[in-house]
Amino acid sequence: MNLSRTKIGAILAAPTVVYMVIFFVVPSLILFSYSFWSSESYRVVPDFVFTNYLDSLHSAVFWKVTINAVRIGLTTAAISLVLAVPVGYYLVYVSRSQTMLYLILITWFSSYLVRIYAWRTLLGTNGVLNAVLLQLGIVDHPVDAFLFSSFAVTITLVHIYLPFCILLVTSSLSEIKPDLIDAARDLGTSSLGAFFRVIAPNAANGLAGAFMLTFILVAGDYVTPQMLGGSSGQTTGLLIADQFRKTGNWPLGAAQAFVMFVISIALYFILVSLGRATGLIVKRRTINPKGI
């Protein structure tokens, strides 16, 4: 028996590919076909109708929570990226501090629910934030408005997804050679200048990717809005999740999930073309021999 290296590779790849096809690709396709099915008295009936999509698109509630999800998603992703870039820069170029990396990993791996719960404790009427503000005399009675608002949801989501964003930014920055920065510094640029003129353009694609990935995960998060968002801070995720509980309409939920998916993809293309138009994102160039 003398199989070629690639053939053995293909055989060895089979378990992974088969597993992921059965339990990821196929379910996604089933969910997609569900979105065209209909639901009669809580039973799913195979069909080919567009009512689920039309109902979603004509629903005021759907648009309200979707706009919420997009707004919270964009704000959270933007704040996360702004905070992640200095940390990533520090980790890649200033000090490869293992302690810092492990602190970030610990927060990433610390329980999702615990972090939501922590913020509920911190922001509550009798919470730590109010206690501190009262002590400092900044407010004279506890502020109720911290909890159950978009503010509470956003700060918690930043806390939950920032470690992930930092890891993405760190990996995209570490692809840029430090020599480039040294060269820019030698030619007299300030460190901030080197960042904006050397690192940012080279890392732009990676940073845009980090932004979008954070956005997608945040916009799809429904547990945080459910716990901290109050009645005005709900997002599409909760609407979708509720359809998949016992008495829900699965085909409608499936259609809503795919509308959300399409919106995310559309936002990605808008972001990239905005970046291209403003020159923030450039196709990676080779060095121009004639100078810039």
* Residues in 144-183 that interact with other proteins by CB under 8 A: 159, 162-163
Which window, 2-10, 57-65, 198-206, 274-282, contacts other proteins (CB under 8 A)? 2-10
d(CA 192, CA 36): 52
Site string (251-280) toward other proteins, x via CB under 8 A: --xx--x---x-------------------
Exactly one of 106, 145, 265, 266 binds other proteins (CB under 8 A); that residue is 106
- Shortest distance, position 244 Cβ to other proteins, whole Å: 5
| Residue span binding other proteins (CB under 8 A) among the ranges 54-62, 128-136, 269-277, 282-290 | 128-136
| Smaller CB separation from other proteins, 35 or 150 | 35
Q: Which of residues 229-248 bind other proteins (CB under 8 A)?
A: 237, 240-241, 244
Query: Taking CB under 8 A as the criterion, which residues in 203-232 touch other proteins?
Result: 213, 216-217, 219-223, 227
> Taking CB under 8 A as the criterion, which residues in 72-101 touch other proteins?
83, 86-87, 89-90, 94, 100
67 versus 282: smaller Cβ distance to other proteins:
67
Q: How far is Cα of residue 270 from the mean position of the Cα atoms in its chain? A: 16
Among 6, 41, 231, 288, binds other proteins (CB under 8 A): 6
Nearest residue (CB) to other proteins, 10 versus 61: 10
User: Based on CB atoms, which residue is closest to other proteins, 130 or 150?
Assistant: 130
Query: In this complex, which beta carbon is closest to other proteins, that of residue 142 or of residue 201?
Result: 142
Q: Which of residues 40-69 bind other proteins (CB under 8 A)?
A: 44
Residues in the interface with other proteins (CB under 8 A) total: 81
CB atoms within 10 A of CB 186: 8
Closest separation in Å from C-beta 242 to other proteins: 11
What are 180's two structure tokens?
């480039």
From CA 209, how far away is CA 220, in angstroms rounded? Answer: 17
Q: Is 68 exposed, middle or buried (0-12, 13-18, 19+ CB in 10 A)?
A: buried
